[in-house]
Amino acid sequence: MWGEYLQKWPPDERPQPDRSDDPPGSWRGEGKRSLDPVENAQVEVACDRVADLERDKISPAMREVESQDPDRQLVGFDHRLKGHDRIKEKVHGTIKDLHRSPEQAVSLVPDAIRYTLQYRESSYTQGVWADIERLRGQGFVLDKLKNSWSDEQYKGINSQWIDSDTGQRFEVQFHTRISFEAKQLTHDAYKRIRSEQRPGKFEQLALEAFQKKVTADVPVPPGAADIPDYHKRGADAG
């Protein structure tokens, strides 16, 4: 099905941004996304700060959480840092439309650092609850939790956390092996749907149909759909 999509909508047929007149040191992404040389340099510095906090504080704590239960593991660990271009795509609107500084804009990106904990289906629900408490024990504050196990396009749980010492935000996803594989398989479709150059109506329908087909084959662990959503302004999930 994905191969049929690529034949009908080849990626290389999409127009690429024209950078010929951009000043040195600037950045340009899809559509009208751009940063001038000063903004771009400030974002680069902020991204380096995020990488330092990931290396020195967040990842060691996540490894400590992982060590407390041998029946599940961190997966995709090599991809825990979002690339600079992806961060720039996310902060562009915050800088231009909300008039935040580049440093503030980067600090608000919830998944500049992201992790995935993968569980056996039989122990998924119990494991998620236990790891929420272990993360809190590391000094992390749960800011948001979104349960998508009942969703047709994506299955899993995504959560956003804040390190109480540094204020650094990061994301933790809770998956089974099959739900993680489904997420990987549909990732390109997800990116295309959310891209600056939005797909047309029929392309959108094809992408959503592909995601739905893959997601339909993901087993829901016992009790997983009952884990409640959470936002820090609302009731505590724990």
Q: Is residue 141 part of a domain?
A: yes
Instruction: Give the chain's mean pLDDT.
Output: 90
Q: What is the pLDDT of residue 24?
A: 95
| pLDDT tens sequence across 197-235 | 677 888 888 888 889 999 999 999 999 999 999 998 644
CATH number where 86 lies: 3.30.460.10
pLDDT at 40: 97
Considering the chain, what percentage of its residues have pLDDT values greater than 90?
75
Residues 90-108: pLDDT tens digits?
999 999 989 999 999 999 9
Tokens linked to 52: 């330092």
Kind of pairing between the strands at 114-119 and 73-75: antiparallel
Residue span of the structural domain in which 79 resides: 31-224
Exposed/middle/buried for 100, CB within 10 Å: 0-12, 13-18, 19+?
middle
Directed axis angle between helix 201-216 and helix 177-185, to 10°? Answer: 160
CA distances from 238 to 43, 44, 88, 154, 187 (A): 35, 37, 34, 24, 30
9 falls within a domain: no
Helix (H) or strand (E) holding 95: helix 84-96
- The angle subtended at Cα 90 by Cα 156 and Cα 7, nearest 5°, is 70
- Residue 53 included in any domain: yes
Count how many domains the chain has: 1
* 80 assigned to some structural domain: yes
111 closest CA partner among 132, 137, 87: 87
Instruction: Give dist(CA 12, CA 15) in Å, integer.
Output: 8
Q: Tell me the pLDDT tens digit for each residue of 50-82.
A: 999 999 999 999 999 999 999 999 999 999 999
Where is mean pLDDT largest: 8-12, 30-34, 217-221?
217-221
Q: How far apart are CA 112 and CA 94, in angstroms?
A: 15
Is 15 inside any structural domain?
A: no
What's the pTM?
0.87
Distance CA 144, CA 163 (A): 13
CB 140 within 8 A of CB 161: yes
Whether residue 75 lies inside any domain: the answer is yes
